Chains A and B, each alone.
Chain A
Amino acid sequence: MNQVPLFSSGRELGNLIVASNIVECAWTRILELQRDQTALPCPVRHFEVYNPSPTCTIVAFVSSPGQGDLVPSPLFDFLRTEEYKSVSINRAALTLFTSLHDSLSELKTQLTEIEGQLIITGHSLGGSVASLFTLWLLDGNSLKPKCRPFCITFGSPLIGDFGLQHSIWNSLFLHVVSNQDPVPGLFLPSGRSPPTSSHSQTTGYKPFGTYLLCSELGCACFDYPDLILGLLKVISSEVAGGSQDVDYGGILRNLKERAICKGLPQVGERFADPFSAGIIMELETIGFNQTKLLQHNIDINTVIRKMEAEARNLTQQNKASDAKKLNEIKRDMTQLELYKKNSKVLNMGYYDCFKNQGSKRDIHVEQFRVNLTGYWEGMVAQVQRKPHKEGATFRTRWLYAGMVYRRMVEPLDIAAFYKDCTKKDYINNGRSLHYKLLQQWYEEDVKPTPGDKLDSKKQKVSGILTEDSCFWAHVEEAILSCELLKSENCTLEQGKSSWDNLVKFEEYVMEQIGKYAVSPEIFLEKSSFMKWWGLYEGYIDTRSNSHSSPLITFMKNCHYTEYR
């Protein structure tokens, strides 16, 4: 089957950016700050806040680049993801940032009050600090929802070894780089790195956000990290050091004129598919023709193929297919609901039915469990690729659906676990990470039911799913404890810990019952919970010291017949 052709819009976006005034507006403030700096020798101001209009705030940073080594920084640990397990930051940027920490904290408090546009900008090392400051603002979601931040840097060196490809934060960073500016690629190994920085400390730099690369002829946007790294390296190695003062103002003015002028004839037009043609032309525009790419060992065809694969992957994710998938998953949930319902008739509950695997329908239901688990593991993995604490992890719709899924399906995992008699302690040895995370996110988001709502919870208890999805794991452990206590070769020590477990279990169950948080199905005649009660009741009756508890009273007096 022929694939749908893709397009690359790096030049269109580039022209859009230069034709809008936003980048120029940021650069003007940087110039202003630089002028003030030279006019007033001390104390050096590294940043300044401007308010060009009531709905726009600009924070500008300036400073020259320093050393290239990377140092770990706990301050930015919130950027960790599954892919980037630790975060290191350029030493010079971090040092400057830390030295400004007090005044920046103050500024942060100020900025949490504002609404409207917030542009955080900087030149050279100032841009690195602008990026760090922006990330720091984003952490913890302290900005108002109506505040729209945008970080724009000019000729800034790379700042760290982390990536933001799967985070929405990635869209908030724009790095403007001239093909005459060696600074952005300064710390890259084959670039002109200062002699002091050792190789091993500098290999980890990763770009993030969008790069607007500019030449005399035009500009184009790039967001593919490998390609950006390659291009920055080449620029850095080609441009003689020392030409530190790249005139970004002049570059932007030229580009603004260029954007409405006819383009020059280009080589890329010979390419058959529009995606490759687009990228080749984008590279040509910023001064990278085929010969130059070859010279620097950039295998552009491989890069394009990788970019294309990624783009294809992205086009398949859209709201229409998301909606479809969520409905398919709900369908599988309905099948489980039916299974649960039919199990109740057998006086057993779906947990024990599944554990016994006594009939065809128990095997049949396995397929739905597999579908559901596959879907939710995927959803959780997607969230995990984002930096921790990015804010809302899931849309509410998914958060709730995930909660229902966990309560419905995790008991089946527990059943499968304890069916294998050699296994013990599901919570520590068997529980899948995605359940833990779904539970954690849900609990972070949802407040506990206030006491006065208990009455309405009581009314509905007959239809609910047990709230603690690990309830059955506790029951299984309690059964194991009972069995151990009754066995002849139980040591004194084992006896004591088993007894402690059982007392704790009693309290736990009673608390759940009091909150109307367990399904009445646990009291069905053939359920594991009733099996436990049988064992336990037998044990305490034969025990020499008498023992009583609210749960024992509740069970002995059959109060559970009224719990429904």
Chain B
Amino acid sequence: MGETLGDRIGLSGEVINAAASLAMEAHDSTREPFRLDKPRGLSVAVVAFAGSWLPGDWCAEPPFGETNIDAGTFPSLKSLGDDGVALVNGSFLRRFNAILGQSSLAEKVKKIAGKNQVVFTGYSSGAPMAILATLYFLEKPEPNQSPPRCVTFGSPLVGDRIFGHAVRREKWSDHFIHFVMRYDVIPRIMLGPSSTEHKQILDFFNPRSESFRQPIDSSSGFYSSVMRNASLVANYDACNLMGCRIPALETLRTFIELSPYRPFGTYIFCTGNGKLVVVRNPNAVLQILFYCAQWTQEEAAEVAKGSLYEHLAYKDEIKESLGMQNVVYLDRLEELPVSSDGSPATVNAALNDLGLSPQARLCLQAAGELEKRKSRNQDKIINDYKQKIEGELRKMTKYKEKAETSGLGYYDSFKLQEKEDDFLANVSRLVLAGFWDEMMEMLKGHELPDDFEKRLDFIELGTAYRRTVEPLDIANFYRHAKDEETGFYVKKGTRPKRYRYIQNWLEHAEKKPSGSRSESCFWAEVEDLRIKTRSNGFSPEIKQKVQQLEKNLIKWIGDESLGKDVLLENSTFVKWWKGLRPEYRSEPDVSKLIGG
């Protein structure tokens, strides 16, 4: 007996079946927003959510109804670069927040689960509730309890690319299993804007609608509409996966409106003949969502009808498929056969069962190659750049120590640029900037694995780099009086990405608020206040800033995130602070620090 699907994904067939039953039941419940159950004989607690067929609960604001996720509830779902917070479907988020606010979800879950693992589940629009609930509990892990899991059936898409990126960065991706039937229309519906076709589809499912289970007029119309929108997103993403350089693409992008939503987590496609195809690469999932639902003109009516009825068939289909254990994992996408009689035979048969054309298979290969390229980039950084960065940093540390013994500190020494050592430090600074800038551009271009920014070794190395070298960038900035051209150093567009991003990494890893780890900008604050306190007048605003600086100084010297060179007798800081008018200075501890 080989490895079962349950072994691979860490959820047994029994649990999945139990989840499917409860999810379908809970979906139609009008009284309670979720149901909890502890299936007999299983060591899990299942929580399933109700759904809704009201168009307003799917997309309240056309065209796509996306909104910023709220950072308070979901602090991890954001980019650590410049791309901001994740976008989610606003209607789903609102419904989830209502559940969270009104029904003491957290307490009830804790009570029923005890020490058992919790499996959140949902069917159709109940699924997004399960996804958000899982994320909510992943964001605040309970000690002594294994992290929650999520299983969905026929789920619509919930979040955008950053949403998926953040989930993968946090290594939560494996917690989410999405079952999708080959032609089911619902998992594709959010790839298009809110439309009359969407309403037709939801009305078909809605028991309170007049058109409930009535054949939709021009049955193929709604399906072509959904598929056309899916094709826009899939083709656009495919162009990018394939590194398309055809010039019109760029211009076209500004002329078409694309859905922001993208799949994330592990998808399990039910081919319809009992086979299950497991795909984890999010780009590949999107391509399959489009290509496996393509039709031929002859089968149009049948496929359109199937796209509705398949959404109703999850419970039985899954039970049957899990029993057969005919599972294919599409893992090494770049090696997939392009031709419909290629090898390996099992993989090829699965691709045929999903009806994937050679064009589709090339798209999947491209999705696989992209991931491969990302890990190659990471390997280059780990095996080559890391060592070189450490070497340069050692030189910098020596420079710093040497400058300190001469009584001036490396910030001021570098600013003066009088000795050969200062020049050599400048060369090192640029060598280091070269490595880090390249890495930051890779991150910006999504050319590194999603979890790169969570690697402890690089957070550490980056922080050491930032604390040691950023003062020199600041010295260089004020040496060339660049503030006269561009303004204060500490703002976006002036302060280099390599420092801003690395600071984000650390703050995120330590779960500290944004901006709390700005110790490497200490010198910029000093320079800025030096300029501002040159004039004779007194300003309470400046006094407040000086106080903040003093407080930070004491804190950062205390936790050793700021170098003691700041306190050397001849440093720019000490000279400025001593010459400061008394009404600005308030912190007696600072004089103690300087004195001692």
Report which A residues bind B (CB closer than 8 A). 4-13, 15-17, 19-20, 22, 117, 148, 150, 170-174, 209-210, 212, 221-223, 256-257, 259-263, 265-266, 268-271, 274, 277-278, 281, 311, 314-315, 318-324, 327-328, 330-331, 334-335, 337-338, 341-342, 456, 460
Across-interface contacts of A327 in B (CB, < 8 A): 430-431, 433-434, 437
In the complex, are the beta carbons of B357 and A262 less than 8 A apart? yes
In the complex, are the beta carbons of B295 and A320 less than 8 A apart? no
In the complex, are the beta carbons of A277 and B338 less than 8 A apart? yes
> In the complex, how many residues of chain B place their beta carbon closer than 8 angstroms to a beta carbon of chain A?
64
In the complex, are the beta carbons of A330 and B235 less than 8 A apart? no
Q: Give the distance to chain B from A14, nearest Cβ to Cβ, in Å.
A: 9
Q: B248: which of A17, A117, A274, A328 is its contact (CB, 8 Å)?
A: A17
In the complex, are the beta carbons of A16 and B246 less than 8 A apart? no
In the complex, are the beta carbons of A150 and B251 less than 8 A apart? yes
In the complex, are the beta carbons of A277 and B238 less than 8 A apart? no
In the complex, are the beta carbons of B358 and A320 less than 8 A apart? no
In the complex, are the beta carbons of B358 and A263 less than 8 A apart? yes
In the complex, are the beta carbons of B228 and A320 less than 8 A apart? no
In the complex, are the beta carbons of B423 and A337 less than 8 A apart? yes
Across-interface contacts of B252 in A (CB, < 8 A): 13, 16-17, 20, 22, 150, 174
In the complex, are the beta carbons of B442 and A320 less than 8 A apart? yes
Q: How far does the alpha carbon of A271 sit from the alpha carbon of B361 in the complex, in Å?
A: 13
| Contact A210-B340, Cβ < 8 Å, known A260-B224, A260-B228, A327-B430 | no
Across-interface contacts of B340 in A (CB, < 8 A): 265, 269
- Which of B7-15, B39-47, B164-172, B365-373 makes up part of the contact surface? B365-373
When A and B form their complex, which 6 residue pairs have the shortest distance between CB atoms, in order from nearest?
A327-B434, A7-B242, A171-B247, A210-B248, A320-B441, A16-B235
| Contact A9-B238, Cβ < 8 Å, known A171-B247, A281-B359, A334-B426 | yes
Q: How far does the alpha carbon of A171 sit from the alpha carbon of B358 in the complex, in Å?
A: 28
Across-interface contacts of A338 in B (CB, < 8 A): 420, 423
In the complex, are the beta carbons of A9 and B246 less than 8 A apart? yes
In the complex, are the beta carbons of B430 and A334 less than 8 A apart? yes
Q: Give the distance to chain A from B347, nearest Cβ to Cβ, in Å.
A: 15
In the complex, are the beta carbons of A12 and B242 less than 8 A apart? yes
Q: How far does the alpha carbon of A226 sit from the alpha carbon of B474 in the complex, in Å?
A: 52
Interface status of B362 (Cβ within 8 A of chain A)? yes
In the complex, are the beta carbons of B242 and A260 less than 8 A apart? no
Closest to A174 in B: B248
Closest to A328 in B: B434
Q: How far does the alpha carbon of A309 sit from the alpha carbon of B539 in the complex, in Å?
A: 64
In the complex, are the beta carbons of B430 and A330 less than 8 A apart? yes
Q: A262: which of B296, B339, B373, B439 is its contact (CB, 8 Å)?
A: B296
Across-interface contacts of A270 in B (CB, < 8 A): 339
Interface status of B236 (Cβ within 8 A of chain A)? yes
Contact with A along B409-439 (1 / 0, CB 8 A): 0000000010010010011001101110111
Q: How far does the alpha carbon of A335 sit from the alpha carbon of B426 in the complex, in Å?
A: 9
Across-interface contacts of B442 in A (CB, < 8 A): 320
Q: B441: which of A170, A223, A259, A323 is its contact (CB, 8 Å)?
A: A323
Across-interface contacts of B296 in A (CB, < 8 A): 261-262
Across-interface contacts of B447 in A (CB, < 8 A): 320
Across-interface contacts of B365 in A (CB, < 8 A): 5, 7, 274
Contact with A along B233-244 (1 / 0, CB 8 A): 001101101111
| Contact A170-B247, Cβ < 8 Å, known A20-B255, A260-B231 | yes
Across-interface contacts of B361 in A (CB, < 8 A): 269
Q: How far does the alpha carbon of A516 sit from the alpha carbon of B249 in the complex, in Å?
A: 49
Q: Give the distance to chain B from A365, nearest Cβ to Cβ, in Å.
A: 13
Across-interface contacts of B244 in A (CB, < 8 A): 9, 12-13
Q: How far does the alpha carbon of A263 sit from the alpha carbon of B362 in the complex, in Å?
A: 13
Across-interface contacts of B294 in A (CB, < 8 A): 260-263
Q: How far does the alpha carbon of A331 sit from the alpha carbon of B255 in the complex, in Å?
A: 42
Report which B residues bind A (CB closer than 8 A). 224, 227-228, 231-232, 235-236, 238-239, 241-252, 254-256, 294-297, 334, 338-340, 355, 357-359, 361-363, 365-366, 369, 373, 417, 420, 423, 426-427, 430-431, 433-435, 437-442, 444-445, 447, 481, 484
Across-interface contacts of B426 in A (CB, < 8 A): 334, 337
Chain B contact surface mostly: helix
In the complex, are the beta carbons of B437 and A268 less than 8 A apart? no
| Contact A172-B433, Cβ < 8 Å, known A320-B447, A460-B481 | no
| Contact A15-B235, Cβ < 8 Å, known A259-B228, A262-B296, A320-B442 | yes
Across-interface contacts of B369 in A (CB, < 8 A): 4-5, 7
Across-interface contacts of B255 in A (CB, < 8 A): 20, 22, 117, 148, 150
Across-interface contacts of A17 in B (CB, < 8 A): 248, 252
In the complex, are the beta carbons of B423 and A341 less than 8 A apart? yes
Closest to A25 in B: B255
> Given A9-B239, A148-B254, 16 more contacts at CB 8 Å?
A12-B238, A13-B244, A22-B252, A150-B255, A171-B247, A171-B250, A171-B251, A221-B246, A262-B294, A263-B359, A314-B245, A321-B438, A323-B440, A323-B441, A331-B427, A334-B430
Q: Give the distance to chain B from A3, nearest Cβ to Cβ, in Å.
A: 12
Q: How far does the alpha carbon of A118 sit from the alpha carbon of B515 in the complex, in Å?
A: 42
In the complex, are the beta carbons of A210 and B243 less than 8 A apart? no
Q: How far does the alpha carbon of A408 sit from the alpha carbon of B139 in the complex, in Å?
A: 54
Listed A/B pairs (23) with beta-carbon separation below 8 Å: A7-B241, A7-B242, A9-B239, A9-B246, A13-B239, A16-B236, A22-B256, A117-B255, A148-B251, A173-B248, A209-B248, A210-B246, A212-B248, A260-B227, A263-B357, A277-B358, A277-B362, A281-B359, A319-B441, A320-B442, A327-B437, A334-B426, A338-B423
In the complex, are the beta carbons of A19 and B445 less than 8 A apart? no
Across-interface contacts of B484 in A (CB, < 8 A): 456
Q: A320: which of B249, B427, B445 is its contact (CB, 8 Å)?
A: B445
Across-interface contacts of B227 in A (CB, < 8 A): 260
In the complex, are the beta carbons of A278 and B430 less than 8 A apart? no
Q: Give the distance to chain B from A212, nearest Cβ to Cβ, in Å.
A: 8
Closest to B356 in A: A262
In the complex, are the beta carbons of A256 and B228 less than 8 A apart? yes
Across-interface contacts of A335 in B (CB, < 8 A): 427
In the complex, are the beta carbons of B438 and A19 less than 8 A apart? no
Q: How far does the alpha carbon of A456 sit from the alpha carbon of B438 in the complex, in Å?
A: 36
| Contact A318-B359, Cβ < 8 Å, known A260-B231, A274-B338, A324-B434 | no
Across-interface contacts of A337 in B (CB, < 8 A): 423, 426
Q: How far does the alpha carbon of A164 sit from the alpha carbon of B236 in the complex, in Å?
A: 24
Across-interface contacts of B231 in A (CB, < 8 A): 15-16, 19, 259-260
Q: How far does the alpha carbon of A321 sit from the alpha carbon of B365 in the complex, in Å?
A: 25
In the complex, are the beta carbons of B445 and A20 less than 8 A apart? no
| Contact A319-B444, Cβ < 8 Å, known A13-B244, A260-B231 | yes
Q: How far does the alpha carbon of A507 sit from the alpha carbon of B98 in the complex, in Å?
A: 80
Across-interface contacts of B431 in A (CB, < 8 A): 327, 331
In the complex, are the beta carbons of A9 and B242 less than 8 A apart? yes
Q: Give the distance to chain A from B377, nearest Cβ to Cβ, in Å.
A: 9
Q: How far does the alpha carbon of A16 sit from the alpha carbon of B257 in the complex, in Å?
A: 12
Q: How far does the alpha carbon of A341 sit from the alpha carbon of B416 in the complex, in Å?
A: 12
| Contact A311-B297, Cβ < 8 Å, known A13-B235, A334-B430 | no
Q: How far does the alpha carbon of A210 sit from the alpha carbon of B250 in the complex, in Å?
A: 11
Q: Give the distance to chain A from B461, nearest Cβ to Cβ, in Å.
A: 18
Q: Give the distance to chain A from B123, nearest Cβ to Cβ, in Å.
A: 26
Q: How far does the alpha carbon of A223 sit from the alpha carbon of B586 in the complex, in Å?
A: 68
Q: How far does the alpha carbon of A417 sit from the alpha carbon of B48 in the complex, in Å?
A: 82
Across-interface contacts of B339 in A (CB, < 8 A): 269-270
Q: How far does the alpha carbon of A377 sit from the alpha carbon of B545 in the complex, in Å?
A: 48
Across-interface contacts of A174 in B (CB, < 8 A): 248, 251-252
Q: How far does the alpha carbon of A7 sit from the alpha carbon of B362 in the complex, in Å?
A: 8
* Centre residue among B247, B254, B358, B484 by max chain A CB count within 10 A: B247
Q: How far does the alpha carbon of A117 sit from the alpha carbon of B442 in the complex, in Å?
A: 31
In the complex, are the beta carbons of B235 and A318 less than 8 A apart? no
Across-interface contacts of B239 in A (CB, < 8 A): 9, 12-13, 16
Q: Give the distance to chain A from B293, nearest Cβ to Cβ, in Å.
A: 9
In the complex, are the beta carbons of A318 and B445 less than 8 A apart? yes
Q: Give the distance to chain B from A489, nearest Cβ to Cβ, in Å.
A: 49
Across-interface contacts of A257 in B (CB, < 8 A): 224, 297
